[in-house]
């Protein structure tokens, strides 16, 4: 499950994750599971690809070049279809680059924060390593990634011009590019279609404003039998994460333009807490169990006890694959307000200090496996043939011709009712990245969220003022 700044258990876009072992494919393909972090031990030379001259960086990888790459996040043996696809893609990649040996590294999960931090400090990351969008500063603080700006162009990544610039921008610092995306998401309103129908609501016309959400939530909660109309997080930093997404939807901000002061202690912030407090206590449409964190709302939704909550599309995959739900039971709408929405995702970076040829080989692999419409992760016909789900609206970091091509192929191979996501996809909401010091800020905002959901006498204005002072201190210590 991709990731946000919230360290959620990761779900692949296809099947629920986690990795084990693999074997060699052929004499030209060495696919080796690594049991410890580290770079390859091949004799293909060291150096610093980030310091290559522009002419060298711009030149394509010579197929005769012999290098070995260690690469994060290879599927486990338990994920038979995904591992099969990985092997197929390495073999196809070696048809063009027969002298590039790909060594896949398996960890469970792909990124675990303490292990990731330790890996960066020890400089033991693989040549091509997996990160969340929110990890860039930590990687740079540890001098961990190559500046790949000169290596990434329309010859090395032909679909580059059709990639959403917002996605690329989050992987840049001071104008330099340090990563390429693997997956992305934006937040929206996830709905339970059967509960909508039982409550006399049209699931094809889901709410688009918070007033409409409140009205719909009351009707759904009136069904009784322990059903809640709307659910919200307020623990594990998840409440602050959702407060941020809601703030963006209403056109507000969490921090000011230069990231030095809190910006949520305003009318927008108060409106959010006032609305939640009213839904919880006046309407009784949110259920009595609170202090929920990631995973709790998914269980309620999958069991038919929750009508709506804010989510990303891959929550649906998690509920189907892990909780026994059905794809047809869910739909997506844009985030209420629609001014902007929180986006996040994950990516691959390239270890600083490796040779220029290894950097080129790494980009060639990332492009083939993750950034080419119709191939690798975007080979929807293969995904369907392998019994994996097709049809969720994300990941989708394409614009222009690449988006047209990918959307058509995804729809043609869909294994789920894509019409259920029409409201979400028809008019995409502009994404905004998470604030600086996101996890620390979310922890503070959890307190405000939990207070209004557990204390009928909570004062939203005082809660926001206190939270703003704490966040100001966090930002002052950057």
- Angle CA 171–174–179, to nearest 5: 20
- Domains 49-185+345-412 and 188-311+436-476 equal at CATH topology level: yes
Strands 306-311 and 188-192: antiparallel
Average pLDDT, the chain: 88
Name beta bridge partners: 34: 105
How confident is the model over 105-119, as pLDDT tens digits?
987 678 888 889 999
Residue 43 has pLDDT above 50, yes or no: no
How confident is residue 51, by pLDDT bands cut at 50, 70 and 90?
low
Task: Taking each helix axis as running N to C, give the angle between helix 267-277 and helix 438-454, from 0 to 180 degrees, rounded to the nearest 10.
Answer: 40
- Extract the tokens encoding 151: 């290596």
pTM of the model: 0.79
pLDDT at 31: 36
Q: Evaluate the CA torsion angle 356, 358, 359, 365 in order and state its sign.
A: positive
How confident is the model over 187-210, as pLDDT tens digits?
999 999 999 999 999 999 999 999
pLDDT at 55: 76
How confident is residue 46, by pLDDT bands cut at 50, 70 and 90?
low
Superfamily of domain 188-311+436-476: Periplasmic binding protein-like II (3.40.190.10)
What separation in angstroms does the CA of 355 have from each of 44, 288, 306, 341? 8, 58, 52, 39
Cβ-count burial of 220 within 10 angstroms (0-12 exposed, 13-18 middle, 19+ buried)?
A: buried
Residue 36 has pLDDT above 60, yes or no: no
What does the pLDDT average to over 364-390?
95
Residue 19 has pLDDT above 50, yes or no: no
- Give CA–CA dist 285/272, Å, rounded: 16
pLDDT at 56: 84
pLDDT at 47: 67
What does the pLDDT average to over 300-317?
95
- Give CA–CA dist 376/36, Å, rounded: 26
Superfamily of domain 49-185+345-412: Periplasmic binding protein-like II (3.40.190.10)
pLDDT at 106: 83
What separation in angstroms does the CA of 92 have from each of 19, 97, 203? 22, 9, 43
- Extract the tokens encoding 363: 């980009």
How confident is residue 52, by pLDDT bands cut at 50, 70 and 90?
low
How is the chain split into domains, by residue range? 49-185+345-412, 188-311+436-476
Strands 176-177 and 67-71: unpaired
């Amino acid at each position: 499950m991709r990731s946000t700044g919230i360290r959620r258990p990761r779900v692949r876009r296809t099947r629920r994750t986690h990795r084990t072992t693999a074997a060699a494919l052929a004499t030209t393909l060495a696919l080796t599971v690594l049991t410890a972090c580290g770079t390859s031990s091949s004799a293909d030379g060291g150096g610093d690809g980030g310091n290559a001259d522009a002419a060298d960086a711009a030149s394509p990888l010579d197929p005769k070049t012999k290098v070995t790459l260690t690469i994060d996040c290879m599927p486990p043996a338990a994920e038979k279809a995904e591992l099969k696809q990985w092997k197929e893609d390495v073999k196809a990649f070696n048809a063009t680059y027969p002298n590039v040996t790909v060594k896949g590294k398996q960890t469970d999960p792909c990124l675990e924060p303490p292990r990731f931090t330790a890996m960066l400090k020890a400089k033991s990351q693989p040549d091509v390593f997996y990160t969340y969008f929110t990890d860039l500063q930590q990687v740079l603080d540890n001098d961990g990634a190559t500046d790949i700006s000169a290596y990434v162009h329309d010859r090395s990544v032909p679909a580059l011009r059709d990639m959403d610039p917002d996605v690329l921008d989050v992987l840049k610092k001071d104008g330099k590019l340090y990563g390429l995306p693997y997956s992305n998401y934006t937040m929206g309103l996830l709905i339970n279609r059967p509960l909508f129908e039982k409550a006399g609501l049209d699931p094809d016309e889901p709410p688009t404003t918070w007033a409409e959400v409140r009205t719909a939530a009351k009707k759904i909660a009136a069904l009784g039998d322990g059903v809640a109309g709307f659910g919200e997080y307020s623990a594990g930093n998840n409440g602050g994460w959702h407060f941020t997404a809601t703030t963006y939807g209403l056109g507000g901000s969490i921090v000011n333009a230069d990231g030095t002061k809190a910006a949520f202690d305003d009318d927008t912030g108060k409106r959010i807490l006032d609305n939640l407090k009213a839904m919880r206590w006046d309407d009784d449409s949110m259920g009595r169990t609170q202090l929920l964190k990631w995973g709790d709302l998914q269980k309620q939704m999958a069991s038919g006890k929750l009508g709506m909550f804010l989510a990303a599309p891959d929550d649906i995959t998690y509920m189907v694959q892990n909780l026994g739900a059905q794809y047809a039971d869910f739909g997506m709408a844009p985030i209420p307000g629609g001014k902007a929405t929180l986006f996040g995702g994950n990516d691959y970076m390239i270890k600083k200090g490796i040779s220029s040829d290894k950097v080129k080989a790494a980009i060639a692999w990332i492009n083939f496996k993750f950034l080419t419409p119709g191939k690798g992760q975007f080979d929807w016909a293969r995904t369907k043939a392998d019994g994996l789900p097709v049809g969720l609206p994300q990941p989708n970091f394409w614009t222009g011709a690449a988006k047209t091509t990918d959307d058509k192929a995804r729809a043609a191979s869909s294994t789920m009712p894509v019409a259920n996501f029409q409201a979400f996809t028809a008019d995409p909401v502009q994404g905004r990245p998470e604030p600086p010091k996101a996890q620390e800020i979310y922890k503070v905002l959890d307190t405000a969220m939990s207070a209004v959901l557990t204390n009928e006498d909570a004062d939203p204005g005082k809660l926001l003022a206190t939270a703003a002072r704490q966040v100001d201190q966090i930002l002052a210590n950057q």
